[in-house]
Structure 1
């Protein structure tokens, strides 16, 4: 079996409501559908979500690196030779979403070619994942109404609140209103997307110390090494590395330098192969992990569930799996269902993503 063709198809699907947070906002899912074709007729599928405000990748840059660099370099290789393929891909620095999507598509091929679910190939630990929902910038009462609605409709009882780059009083108010309205049994944690200084983060932790918050994600820029280490040392809850840890090397640097003491794993930027390496590092060091969300479509969410439910460590916490609900549509033929606060894995060969051709025709931007 040989790689015969790689398609990078730009598409755009509007959001019903934008997601706003400290490092930007998203009004449309302007993503790239990746399809890797083999000479045996097997096609691997994945989604590449550009996040220029986080990693510098755009829809155009992902298409360019696929068509001009990656495709010429790996066409003709056996998709089972993933080590060889990654050695070729890693000659090009960064481009995390592009590399991650290619890796997921290759795993999809392996699963389809062996008539096995990738979830089983990765470990097959459990058959579903608990769901966490991300809450963006809104007035506190609207945040509570959204959280109550998601709990009532989908059974979700874990929420990540986006904070940072606005008056601290608004963030503290949101935390208090959510805790009062949701009760003590709901898990709440924060994500500042590098929107605070270390001192601001410590002040928010002081003002919310009675609310039972469980995690503080990327509170300030990890490049500010001294202040970040001081924050991690003083924080009563784990400080999660996210944007600062896209690779296993980055994760090891931040953990060993004291820049964080928990890690967010995102398959959209690491694929499955590097996600395994990051997870192995974290489990070896005894570090908590959470499965993060790259503001994923249902295709990306399915990949996260496939990986997260395959391992014991990534199944302990709720994964950030629900923000596709804010989209007006999706390319997936069989919609993802959240039931009783969980998403079930798919046992189809491969990752389980099947594209609706009519929807792809409607939303693609290259015709």
Structure 2
């Protein structure tokens, strides 16, 4: 089997309401669908979320690097040669989500060719994941209302609260309101998206611990090395690395230099191959992991579930899998379901993505 073509298709689907956080605001999914074709008639599919304010990638840059740099070197390759593909893409700096998406599409081909779900090929630890829902900037009452709706309708009891505003009292007031409304049974944690300084983050750590926040993600810019390590060494709750650990090397740096106590895995930026290495790194260091969200579509979310269900380490904590609910529509022909707070991994061969051709034709922008 050989790769015959690689497509990078831009499309746009609006969100029902904006998601606001410290490093930006998302009003629509301006994503890129990747399709890797083979001479066996098998096509691997994945989704790529540009995040210019986080990784510097745009729809245009993803399309360009996939079509002009990766595809010419990969056409004619065996799609099973994932390490060779990783080496080829690794010669190009940055472009994290473009590389991750091509890797996922290759795994999708492998699973289809072997007639096996990818979550079983990767490890098959479980067939479902608990769901955590991400809450953006809103007034406290609106946040409580959204969380209660997610709990009552979908059975979700874990929530990430976006913080990082100044004054910090806005954020901690929202955290307190959520704890009081949802009770001690709710799992709550914070994500400042680098929005605070080290001193601002330090001022809220005691209150965060008192409210039972599980951890604080990206409290300040990790480039403020001394400030981040001052926070981590003094924090009563764990500090998590996300944007500061977008690949294996940076995850290793943050963990071994005490820049973080746990690390987020996002398949959209590290695919399945590099993500599995991050899992191994964390297990070797005795560090916990959790699955983050790139404000993924259902296509991207299905990939996250496939990876997260494969490993014990990524299935211990609730995974951020629900934000596709904020989209006005989706490309998935067979929609994902959140039932009793869980999403099941697809039992179909490959990742289990099924793109609706009519919807893709409607939303594509090329």
For the aligned pair, the TM-score class normalised by the smaller chain equals over 0.9
How far off its partner does 1:236 sit?
Answer: 1.1
1:46 aligned partner: 46
Hey, what's the Cα distance between the residues in 2 that align with 1:182 and 1:271? 34
1:149 aligned partner: 149
How far off its partner does 1:209 sit?
Answer: 3.0
Hey, what's the Cα distance between the residues in 2 that align with 1:319 and 1:354? 22
2:364 aligned partner: 364
TM-score where L is the length of structure 1: 0.99
Hey, what's the Cα distance between the residues in 2 that align with 1:215 and 1:165? 17
Deviation per residue, 1:240-294 (Å, 9 max, x gap)? 1000111111111011111111000000000000000000000111101000000
Hey, what's the Cα distance between the residues in 2 that align with 1:321 and 1:166? 28
Task: Calculate the aligned-residue CA RMSD, in Å.
Answer: 0.6
1:114 aligned partner: 114
1:162 aligned partner: 162
1:1-367 correspondence to structure 2 within 5 Å:
1-366=1-366
SS at match of 2:272: helix
Hey, what's the Cα distance between the residues in 2 that align with 1:218 and 1:32? 27
Q: Which stretches in structure 1 are left out of the alignment for 5+ residues?
A: none
Deviation per residue, 1:330-354 (Å, 9 max, x gap)? 0000000000000001110000001
SS at match of 1:208: helix
Hey, what's the Cα distance between the residues in 1 that align with 2:188 and 2:206? 16
Hey, what's the Cα distance between the residues in 2 that align with 1:286 and 1:237? 17
Hey, what's the Cα distance between the residues in 1 that align with 2:227 and 2:153? 41
How far off its partner does 1:207 sit?
Answer: 2.8
SS at match of 2:105: helix
How far off its partner does 1:112 sit?
Answer: 0.4
How far off its partner does 1:204 sit?
Answer: 1.1
Task: Kindly indicate whether the alpha-carbon contact (under 8 Å) linking 2:160 and 2:191 is maintained by their aligned counterparts in 1.
Answer: yes
More displaced, 202-211 or 251-260? 202-211
Hey, what's the Cα distance between the residues in 1 that align with 2:324 and 2:208? 29
Hey, what's the Cα distance between the residues in 1 that align with 2:277 and 2:2? 26
SS at match of 1:309: helix
Deviation per residue, 1:200-257 (Å, 9 max, x gap)? 1111112333211101001111111111001000111111100011111111101111
SS at match of 1:204: helix
Hey, what's the Cα distance between the residues in 2 that align with 1:307 and 1:88? 23
SS at match of 1:112: helix
How far off its partner does 1:166 sit?
Answer: 2.6
Hey, what's the Cα distance between the residues in 2 that align with 1:206 and 1:118? 42
How far off its partner does 1:45 sit?
Answer: 0.2
How far off its partner does 1:5 sit?
Answer: 0.2
Q: Which stretches in structure 2 are left out of the alignment for 5+ residues?
A: none
Hey, what's the Cα distance between the residues in 2 that align with 1:151 and 1:53? 31
Segments ≥4 residues shifted beyond 3 Å:
none
